[in-house]
């Protein structure tokens, strides 16, 4: 999966960029990564993702217990559990935090710290959710990968128009309380006039 490789590369590049002097300050050059996962520890898909994460880090020269310590907190999607685990990870003073399961893990990590770098994966709309200022210049302490580019949402409407050329109206079902869909909905609205749809 392309995003998983990019994530590992980004995290590996973050580790590779750690100054040698900073590594020397730590006993044995040990770095620390905190990982927050909104899943149970026995979930097969989450276990596979963590195995790929460990494998990718190993390929980049980072080995858990040798030169990096990886602290993982498994939490259900319960907001209180996520906040508690985010606070625990932040208290460990990691070099970087990983929001491993998207929006549900980014928000509590950002509540817990605005200084420790946070790398997120599978967030639908990090700008609309308020995690980053823009895709080009995230700002703050969070960066990562989106599930899709907003313009793709406009392509859905274009595809619908190809399937049903006489279509003049389309309905979009979404929950306005969930910020992650703002960018997607905006892309659909931007394309609609050019297709004669509303």
Q: pLDDT over 90 for what percent of the chain?
A: 49
Asked if residue 112 and residue 188 are part of one domain, the reply reads no
Number of domains in the chain: 2
Which CATH number belongs to the domain containing residue 142 in this structure?
3.40.50.2300
* Poorest-pLDDT segment among 25-34, 52-61, 154-163, 186-195: 25-34
Asked if residue 139 and residue 191 are part of one domain, the reply reads no
Asked if residue 114 and residue 71 are part of one domain, the reply reads yes
Asked if residue 80 and residue 107 are part of one domain, the reply reads yes
Cβ contacts of 107 within 8 Å, gap of 6 or more: 82, 129, 131
Mean pLDDT value across residues 50-66: 93
Backbone angles phi, psi at 190, to 5 degrees: -70, -35
| DSSP per-residue string spanning the chain | -HHHHHHHHHHHHHHHTS-HHHHHHSGGG-EEEEEEEES-TT-HHHHHHHHHHHHHHHHTT--BTTTEEEEEEEE-S-HHHHHHHHHHHHHT--SEEEETTTHHHHHHHHHH-SSS-EEEEEES-TTTTTS-S-SS---TTEEEEESS-THHHHHHHHHHHHHSTT---------TT-GGGHHHHHHHHHHGGGGT--
Rounding to the nearest 10 degrees, give the CA dihedral for residues 109, 114, 119, 121: 50
pLDDT in tens, 167-189: 888 888 887 776 667 778 888 88
Asked if residue 104 and residue 175 are part of one domain, the reply reads no
Asked if residue 14 and residue 100 are part of one domain, the reply reads yes
Asked if residue 72 and residue 39 are part of one domain, the reply reads yes
Provide the CA 11 distance to its chain's centre, in angstroms.
12
The pLDDT of residue 11: 53
* Poorest-pLDDT segment among 92-106, 114-128, 153-167, 173-187: 173-187
Please say whether the beta carbons of 76 and 36 come within 8 A. Answer: no
Asked if residue 163 and residue 134 are part of one domain, the reply reads no
- Note the pTM of the prediction, 2 decimals: 0.73
Mean pLDDT value across residues 129-143: 90
pLDDT in tens, 62-93: 999 999 999 999 998 899 999 999 999 999 99
The pLDDT of residue 106: 95
Asked if residue 118 and residue 21 are part of one domain, the reply reads yes
Asked if residue 93 and residue 138 are part of one domain, the reply reads yes
Backbone angles phi, psi at 29, to 5 degrees: 70, 25
Position 61 confidence tier, pLDDT thresholds 50, 70, 90: very high
The pLDDT of residue 35: 97
Asked if residue 125 and residue 61 are part of one domain, the reply reads yes
* Full domain range(s) for residue 168: 151-195
Position 2 confidence tier, pLDDT thresholds 50, 70, 90: very low
Higher confidence at residue 46 or residue 21?
Answer: 46
In whole angstroms, what is the distance from residue 42 CA to residue 194 CA?
48
Asked if residue 178 and residue 110 are part of one domain, the reply reads no
- Identify the domain boundary among 146, 170, 186: 146
Rounding to the nearest 10 degrees, give the CA dihedral for residues 132, 133, 139, 141: -20
């Amino acid at each position: 999966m392309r995003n998983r490789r990019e994530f590992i590369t980004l995290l590996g590049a973050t580790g590779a960029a750690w100054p040698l002097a900073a590594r020397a300050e730590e006993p044995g050059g040990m770095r620390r990564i905190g990982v927050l996962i909104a899943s149970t520890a026995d979930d097969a898909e989450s276990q596979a993702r963590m195995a790929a994460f460990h494998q990718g880090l190993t390929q980049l020269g980072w080995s858990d217990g040798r030169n990096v310590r990886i602290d993982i907190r498994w939490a259900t999607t319960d907001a209180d559990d996520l906040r508690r685990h985010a606070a625990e990870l932040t208290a460990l003073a990691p070099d970087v935090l990983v929001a491993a399961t998207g929006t549900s893990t980014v928000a509590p990590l950002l509540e817990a710290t605005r200084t420790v770098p946070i790398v997120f994966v599978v967030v639908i709309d990090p700008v609309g959710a308020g995690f980053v200022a823009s895709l080009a210049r995230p700002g703050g302490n969070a960066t990562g990968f989106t599930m899709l580019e907003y313009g793709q949402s406009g392509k859905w409407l274009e595809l619908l128009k190809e399937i049903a050329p006489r279509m003049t109206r389309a309905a979009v079902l979404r929950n306005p309380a969930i910020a992650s869909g703002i960018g997607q909905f905006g892309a659909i609205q931007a394309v609609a006039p050019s297709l004669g749809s509303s």
